[in-house]
Amino acid sequence: MHSFRHPGLVLTDHRFTVPLDHDDPGGEKIEIFAREAVAASKADENLPWLVYLEGGPGFGARRFVGTEAWLGRAVREFRVLLLDQRGTGLSTPANRQTLPLRGGPREQADYLAHFRSDSIVRDCELIRPRLTGGAPWTVLGQSFGGFCAVRYLSAAPEGLEQVLITGGLPSLDAHADDVYRAAYPRIERKVAAHYAHYPQDVERARAITAYLAEHRPDSAGHRLTPEGFQSLGILLGGGTGSHQLHYLLENAFVTGPHGTELSDTFQEAMRTATSFAGHPLYALMHEAIYGQGERPTGWSAERVRAEFPQFDAAASLAGQGPVLFTGESIHPWHFEVDPALRPLRETAELLAARTDWPALYDTARLAANEVPVAAAVYHDDMYVDTGHALRTATSIRGLRTWVTSEFEHDGLRAGGPRVLDRLLALVRGESDR
């Protein structure tokens, strides 16, 4: 183990070997990386453990600098484990460079089928006794990390002291189609709010879309398209996202010797914002996290979008309507324009067609839950449907819900210690609301 210090913290790196397939414990192994964080003044104390499950899927745990955001509050009483879920961060990677080691697309898809919340929870249950001596621990799940936490409650509640969920209560039975059918109207509301705040962006977005439709520029091998531009709407799910989007749009064009063109600054910013090079599992597994049973996800976001023609950029340009941004959705074209995804297109097709996804949630066990649980539900969250979240909240016995419009989906990060403080008070019965 390697340890180092940040102001106020002692950080220790851990590596764990786990089975790729937990039903075949003697088979292939992969590595899971996690970083322990403890207050420097309490480094020698026997503290309870809190494991943090990042959002995604496909993102490693956040790399904090010191006691920023919620971490400072957590280390006042916990020893925190920042877990790089399988395939992310410093855990055994899964990307265009490593997946060919598995074989062809079929072998790659079969390998990735072990990268959902059910496997992540079983990783946690192998890691927990090695750190806690067998004692249960607290789980803090952000977004997809909350999906993992609900799976944890379904599969291994004996490992849990308490559960804290932020923006991550999944529907227990919705197909991906139901998820996106609920999402597009929500995204449209966020876009309308952005344009109401920044009305000048309506014409800017139309001009950028028209330019991309005509020129299709290439930025470091990443083809910039109208659909890719629309996907910048994913920013609108964060507390400062509308402002970030506005600043990105305001310097989109520059005048050169051949007339007006998209600036290098804008093209690089768009490429950076839309590239999956750092988190390819997000694109590969995003719809798979909703798969349960024999019905394939089948590129759900793409199919359901056809039910909402107002998102058709070409139609918007042909008429007078604004170009609508999209949000947290993955489409086949992502695997055509992004060089980090292009070699994985057939693998993605096989995952989309898969018909043997195991069930993720045990409704009977959740209805009999005895683990203290508190969840922050963000009103009109762009990423996780509030209606779906509240229905799930009523299905988990004893869950205490805090519904707030003070934060967007990134409330845990943006709210500093306040969100974690509130959830801890709720789960301990120290707050009535």
Q: pLDDT for 201-259, tens place per residue?
A: 999 999 999 999 999 899 889 999 999 999 999 999 999 999 999 999 999 999 999 89
Asked whether the beta carbons of 245 and 416 are under 8 A apart, the reply is no
Answer with the residue of higher pLDDT: 317 or 431: 317
The single residue of 23, 44, 356, 432 carrying the catalytic annotation is: 356
Model confidence, pTM: 0.97
The single residue of 91, 171, 409, 410 carrying the catalytic annotation is: 409
Domains by residue range for the chain, with CATH: 2-173+361-427 (3.40.50.1820), 176-353 (no CATH)
Query: Does residue 431 carry a catalytic annotation?
Result: no
Question: pLDDT digits over 247-298, tens only?
Answer: 999 999 999 998 999 999 999 999 999 999 999 999 999 999 999 999 999 9
Question: pLDDT digits over 126-137, tens only?
Answer: 999 999 999 999
Query: Does residue 338 carry a catalytic annotation?
Result: no
The answer to whether residue 432 scores a pLDDT higher than 70 is no
Question: pLDDT digits over 83-126, tens only?
Answer: 999 999 999 999 999 999 999 999 999 999 999 999 999 999 99
Average pLDDT score over the chain: 96
Q: For 277-385, where are the alpha helices, taking DSSP H only?
A: 280-285, 300-305, 313-318, 334-337, 345-353, 363-367
Question: pLDDT digits over 400-415, tens only?
Answer: 999 999 999 999 999 9
The single residue of 143, 316, 329, 395 carrying the catalytic annotation is: 143
Query: Does residue 379 carry a catalytic annotation?
Result: no
